[in-house]
Structure 1
Amino acid sequence: MTSIEEQGIVVTGAAGGIGRALAKRLIAEGARVVVNDLNPAATEATAAELGAFAVAGDAASESGVKALIEASRAHLGHIDAWFGNAGVVQGEDIDSSEADWATSWQVNTMAHVRAARLLVPDWLERGGGRFVMTVSAAGLLTALDAAPYSVTKHGAIAFAEWLSATYRHRGIVVQAICPQAVQTNLLPTGPLASILGGDGALTPDEVAEATWQAVQDDRFLILPHPPVGDYYRARATDTDRWLKGMNKLQRGLEQAKEAL
């Protein structure tokens, strides 16, 4: 069993949803946790409720993540683990704006790159660290009606794979949380909700528990919805058949929208 008692951990996107649940679960195991989110009031409230330390700010920008890491190190002494949970869903189809693509890229992909750039050198000197990314099943499969989200989450899983392949022999554990539907404010409504919810919409606490169990054996893919693993294997084994199946879902989604 992996013990994180007294470890210094940072959780981004932690004022609610999965991030808050992760912070709560880690604190329950004895970790010293810094919670981060854009909204200062919500971040402070979460920290006060959970017994964490609040550092509000933009964890995606170069200056923002630098400030977050500096403040976290000042409070914790050092950072043993980083849970990069902040994410956005902006834009839908091929007509998604340049701004939607840019924001999605910065938050869903580059936030992880920028954090790792600052964390990895220290971990290499200290002999290890843990980098956990909330990626979503969209990063392994695809997300209908969410082109920027799907593409940038694919970028996130690609970076996680590279990071693990490059540094795992030097003590750096990389993990990617890939849930499907979760009961947060990012959960779609309408016809798409019924498609995503086919395997059940988990609570954030259930995702946090699945993550904690995966921390125990350092597995790379954390799949709170086990069927996602089957879909991922089907995608790799027979990509054309899988794409036909996804296109069938897309046609059903369009028909459902037309019926509204």
Structure 2
Amino acid sequence: MKTTGNTILITGGGSGIGRGLAEAFHALGNQVIVTGRRREMLDQTLAANPGMQADVLDIRDGADIRRTAARLVAQFPALNAVIHNAGIMRTEDVREPGTVDAEETISTNLLGPIRLTAALLPHLLDKPDATIMTVSSGLAFVPGAVTPTYCATKAAIHSYTQSLRYQLSDTGVQVMELIPPYVQTELTGPAHASDPNAMPLKDFISEVMGIIQNSPEATEICVERVKPLRSAVTGADYDAFFKRFNDARSGPTVARWKGAAGRGKWR
């Protein structure tokens, strides 16, 4: 992916990783359009970044995706990149009845990127330097058992990205996957943003941009902190790694996430 001269659409760009990426690409002189469900978050992002553009989008709504994609392509004909960042993460007790949280997680994290890709792809195929970047997670490879549907959607996004890349290999559309570790955002609530166990957002964005600039043909973007999760799936002792990883996430971490502020925030 080239890092200058783009017109980039970033979903979930009002906060967290999405806003961090938006500001980094904006600082390099790209035209950046951020979308999100909450107008107030988008307005805060625009106020801090003159020249950036924004549009409200409910990524859960297929009809809204189609309308918004058509509007943005008409308004920004140079649009040549999309970063599928919008997502939610919620804890679930599989023994409790009800699947409302699971269904909303799937519609946001999985159906949203698939639908938006479908809506934008005819336009992107006509661009010489087009990019589709999905955002999965280290949890796609080693699931965190307290957020089962989130991890399942991220594993599915990883699989979808591989198929998308393969099918578009004879086109001018580059398909990349950003695989974040645990990063200080408000994805699961305010406490998440200050958790010392999470990677500082500024450091994460800096490392990601460095990888993109130094390896523009990369298919996967993995900062150093996520590499143990990314590679664990290929190890002979995966079951032991999975148990150690989830055991370490038990106790205080789970209790905090299950609190009132830990229901999961949009990013």
Task: Show the 5 A alignment for 1:129-140.
Answer: 129-140=130-141
Deviation of 1:60 (Å):
3.3
Per the normalisation by structure 2, the TM-score is: 0.83
Cα offsets for 1:100-157 (capped at 9, x unmatched): 1111111111111111111222222334410112211111221231111111111111
Structure 1 unmatched runs, 5+: none
Matched, 1:245 2:246: no
Greater alpha carbon shift after TM alignment, 123-132 vs 245-254? 245-254
In the superposition, the TM-score normalised over structure 1's length comes to 0.85
Q: Percent identity?
A: 20
Q: Give the Cα–Cα distance (whole angstroms) in 1 for the partners of residues 246 and 24 of structure 2.
A: 36
Equivalent residue, structure 2, for 1:155: 156
For 2:219, the equivalent position in structure 1 comes to 220
The alignment partner of 2:144 has SS state of coil
Structure with the largest fraction of helix: 1
Equivalence for 1:144: 145
Corresponding residue number in structure 2 for 1:17: 16
**Which residue among 188, 197, 202 is the counterpart of 2:199?**
202
3-state DSSP class of the match of 1:34? strand
Between the aligned partners of 2:103 and 2:255, the Cα distance in structure 1 is 33
How far does residue 252 in structure 1 lie from its aligned partner after superposition?
5.1
| Structure with more contact order per residue of length (Cα contacts < 8 Å, sep ≥ 6) | 2
Distance change in 2, residues 1:2/1:259 (3 Å): closer
Report matched runs for 1:89-238 at 5 Å.
Answer: 89-95=89-95, 97-186=98-187, 197=197, 201-216=198-213, 217-224=216-223, 226-238=224-236
The match for 2:45 is: 46
The answer to whether the 8 A contact 2:141-2:232 is kept is no
Q: Deviations over 1:76-95 (max 9, x none)?
A: 22321001110001232323
Runs (5+) with no aligned partner, structure 2: 257-267
Counterpart CA distance in 2 for 1:255 and 1:42 is 32
Give the Å deviation of 1:202: 2.2
